[in-house]
Amino acid sequence: MVIMLVEVVSVTKKGQATIPKKLREKYGIKGKVLVLEEEGKIVLKPVPTPVQDFGSLKTIFKDKSSSELLEEARKEESAKDEERMKRVGAAGLRF
């Protein structure tokens, strides 16, 4: 592991710490960061912009568009609703 910059920062009573300007500029940190705990370390990562993050979930969702994913979710939910209605009807309950 290569350590490139070491600085001591203060943490306020509210848990706030200032990221050194050199690091903010180097990593393009402007508004928000992700705070992760990894192997006993606290890691800060810049939150990617929508342009930078575009397509990052395609491998998880098998190259389906958001419209296709939404349509699938609606069909699944509709099928569940129909099954629930059948069970209610089979039990002789009426609304």
Asked if residue 9 belongs to a domain, the reply is no
Is 16 inside any structural domain? no
Structural domains in the chain (count): 2
Amino acid 53: pLDDT? 66
- pLDDT computed for residue 75 by the predictor: 92
Burial label for 64, CB within 10 Å (0-12, 13-18, 19+), is middle
Is the residue at 2 inside a domain? no
Instruction: Write down the pLDDT at residue 14.
Output: 96
Structure confidence by residue, pLDDT tens digits, 15-65:
999 999 998 898 888 888 889 899 999 988 887 777 666 666 666 667 777
pLDDT at 47: 79
Rounded to two decimals, the pTM is 0.47
User: Containing domain of residue 77, as a range?
Assistant: 55-90
Name the helix (H) or strand (E) containing 25.
helix 21-27
Residue 83 lies in a domain: yes
Based on the fold, state whether residues 43 and 65 are members of the same structural domain.
no
Answer whether residue 45 is part of any domain: yes
Burial code of 14-36, b = ≥16 C-beta within 10 A, e = fewer?
Answer: eeeeeeeeeeeeeeebeeeeeee
